[in-house]
Structure 1
Amino acid sequence: MELRTLRYFLAVARDENMTRAAESLHVTQPTLSKAIKSLEEELGQKLFTRKAFSIKLTDEGFLLRNRAEDLVSMADKIEEEFLSLDDITGGDLYLGLAESYQISFLAKEINSFKQLYPDLRYHITSGDTSQVAEKLDKGLLDFVVLAEIPDTSKYESLLFPETDTWGVVMPADLPLAEKAAISVDDLVGLPLFCSDQGWKNDISRWAKDRMDELQLEGSFGLVYNASLFAKEHLGYLLSFDKLVDTSPGSGMVFRPLTPKLETNLYLVWKKYQILSPIAERFLKQIKKSFGQK
């Protein structure tokens, strides 16, 4: 199975049209059709269902698309790394990020790093721990930022300078907004929004044996989206501070949890991983900036 054939396959899956895919690849339609047919024969599976004016992926085609995307991304990353071995002015940096105001520290470091390496190109992926860790394990990312203690048997890590504080984001006109801090008692019986990761780990650790008394109304991967639901009085958002606009005039407030609940943030990379030259330089700079060796 050749990478070129996988690229052909991904183009057809994307365009759902053999003619358009051939045009985007700058090959003839017969050449593309032959390549897809050979791929199906090689795998012994039908990858597309063909209709009059379009083609759709079969279940087997969806499976191959997921695998092919990872393989092609990895091949591109390897090529870019080797091309940048002698490029002292830049290279490609791949990061997967959790949501936190402390990402601003990372942004400042990248800005400073780019002054030294003006041809730096950085690629950002967002997601929860399982999503970004999977890409890190596959070698598709150089670093990830996690809001939980990393597995030291698999990863190296740096601790961010500060901690994230948990609290409740809600409309300012609600009675609960009058309180200076929010306890478990205050949340019992209320519809709550939270990320799956935060609910299972941090909030569970905070609520302890009273976790069963709390009601998860909905889970969100993006805090901003959850804040829109909270703003419509659909529920109360459990989140880190400084992720949602709660400034005067916003109509929203943040109230910390009591007892106080904090979460550390970690910059993580694979143990024994051979980093690209630009990633190695970036790690050296950020270790110095964070005051760690």
Structure 2
Amino acid sequence: MEFRVLKYFLAVAREKNISKAAVSLHLSQPTLSKQLKELEEELGVTLFERGNREIRLTEEGLFLLDKGNEILSLVEKTTMNLRKDKLVTGEIYIGGGETRAMSLIAKWTKRILNNSPEIKIYLYSGNADDIMAKLDSGLLDFGIVVNPTNKQKYKSISLPQKDKWGLLVRSDHLLAQNEAITPNDLRVVPLLISQQSLVSDQISEWFGNNLDQLHIVGSYNLLYNASLMVEEGVGCALCIDGIINPANSKLVFVPLKPELSASLSVIWKKNQTMSIAATKFLEQLETE
């Protein structure tokens, strides 16, 4: 499968119409239709269900769309990092969850950009599973994840900052007056909990491995969205401190007791060939 034809497929999937895609690609409609037909024959699958007004992707087409976008992103990233002159240029792709440790990454990034202003930084927000999947596929250079990490697959540098866990509640909630939240307190409130499996394991251990006794009404992967649910009284959110600023909202953060904190690391794939920009970032990490 040629990369050029893959881009044709992605354009048609985006436009949902061969005529519109042909215009955007500066091709004739018959030429584009022929290329798509040959692609289906080469792969031995049907990629489109053709209707009168628009086309729909089959299950195989949706799979190719997902992988095709990853391939396109990887090719563009590789091309950008190879197009360099005497200045240090390129792109650094960093992924992580919502954490105060990102402030450290920001400081290090600022130092790099002061010396190499042509470097571009791209941030991706997601949970640990998302981050590691994108590291494995080459779509990220570095990830910020909760320890422990898979030392067989990744190299890592531990971060000095830890995330402290607690409960985000409305200021008029009964638990807002508490100095700390105990396991018994959690039995009586509807909870929103992080989707990240490792976090759930931590909470389960803290609670005595009786997570089924909690009244979990939902889950989240971005705390800002969960905080809106808390404001509306949907439930209270188990979360880390410092992401939502209670001073600017109707919310209160109450820490857990016994204290529960998570240590973090910056990780990257073993034996990967890094771009010059990513190497500069790693050098900055190692000097801190």
Moved more, 259-268 or 121-130: 121-130
* 3-state secondary structure, aligned to 1:278: helix
Q: 2:152 is aligned with what amino acid? A: S
CA contact (8 A) 1:98 1:147 kept: no
CA contact (8 A) 1:93 1:278 kept: yes
CA contact (8 A) 1:166 1:241 kept: yes
Residues 228 and 213 of structure 1: is their aligned pair in 2 closer, same or farther, counting only changes over 3 Å? same
Q: 2:232 is aligned with what amino acid? A: E
| Cα distance per residue 1:109-128 (max 9 Å; x no partner) | 11221111111112221111
Q: 1:152 is aligned with what amino acid? A: K
* 3-state secondary structure, aligned to 1:46: coil
| Cα distance per residue 1:69-103 (max 9 Å; x no partner) | 2222222222222223x453321111112110111
Q: 2:253 is aligned with what amino acid? A: F
Alignment RMSD = 1.4
Match of 2:226 in 1: 226
| Cα distance per residue 1:18-68 (max 9 Å; x no partner) | 122122222222221111111011111111111122111111100111121
Q: 2:74 is aligned with what amino acid? A: M
Question: How far, CA to CA, are the matches of 1:121 and 1:20 in structure 2?
Answer: 32
After superposition, residues 122-161 of structure 1 pair within 5 angstroms as 122-161=121-160
After superposition, residues 218-257 of structure 1 pair within 5 angstroms as 218-247=218-247, 250-257=249-256
After superposition, residues 83-162 of structure 1 pair within 5 angstroms as 83-84=83-84, 86-162=85-161
Q: 1:148 is aligned with what amino acid? A: N
* Aligned-pair CA distance for 1:236: 0.7
* 3-state secondary structure, aligned to 1:209: coil
After superposition, residues 29-44 of structure 1 pair within 5 angstroms as 29-44=29-44
TM (norm. structure 1) is 0.94
Match of 2:45 in 1: 45
Asked if residue 213 in structure 1 is aligned to residue 236 in structure 2, the reply is no
Q: 1:223 is aligned with what amino acid? A: L
After superposition, residues 51-90 of structure 1 pair within 5 angstroms as 51-84=51-84, 86-90=85-89
CA contact (8 A) 1:10 1:68 kept: yes
Question: How far, CA to CA, are the matches of 1:176 and 1:260 in structure 2?
Answer: 16
Question: How far, CA to CA, are the matches of 1:82 and 1:167 in structure 2?
Answer: 45
Q: 1:220 is aligned with what amino acid? A: Y
CA contact (8 A) 2:193 2:200 kept: no
* Aligned-pair CA distance for 1:252: 0.7
Asked if residue 191 in structure 1 is aligned to residue 206 in structure 2, the reply is no
Moved more, 74-83 or 236-245: 74-83
Q: 1:187 is aligned with what amino acid? A: L
* 3-state secondary structure, aligned to 1:208: coil
After superposition, residues 155-174 of structure 1 pair within 5 angstroms as 155-174=154-173
* 3-state secondary structure, aligned to 1:35: helix
Question: How far, CA to CA, are the matches of 1:237 and 1:264 in structure 2?
Answer: 20
CA contact (8 A) 1:230 1:237 kept: yes
Match of 1:273 in 2: 272
TM (norm. structure 2) is 0.95
| Cα distance per residue 1:246-277 (max 9 Å; x no partner) | 11x52110000000000012111001212111
CA contact (8 A) 1:189 1:213 kept: no
Identity %: 39
* 3-state secondary structure, aligned to 1:108: helix
Question: How far, CA to CA, are the matches of 1:221 and 1:280 in structure 2?
Answer: 30
CA contact (8 A) 1:13 1:57 kept: yes
Question: How far, CA to CA, are the matches of 1:112 and 1:145 in structure 2?
Answer: 19
* 3-state secondary structure, aligned to 2:208: helix
* Aligned-pair CA distance for 1:199: 4.7
CA contact (8 A) 2:87 2:116 kept: yes
* 3-state secondary structure, aligned to 2:246: coil
Q: 1:79 is aligned with what amino acid? A: T
Question: How far, CA to CA, are the matches of 1:101 and 1:18 in structure 2?
Answer: 46
Match of 1:24 in 2: 24
CA contact (8 A) 2:80 2:91 kept: yes
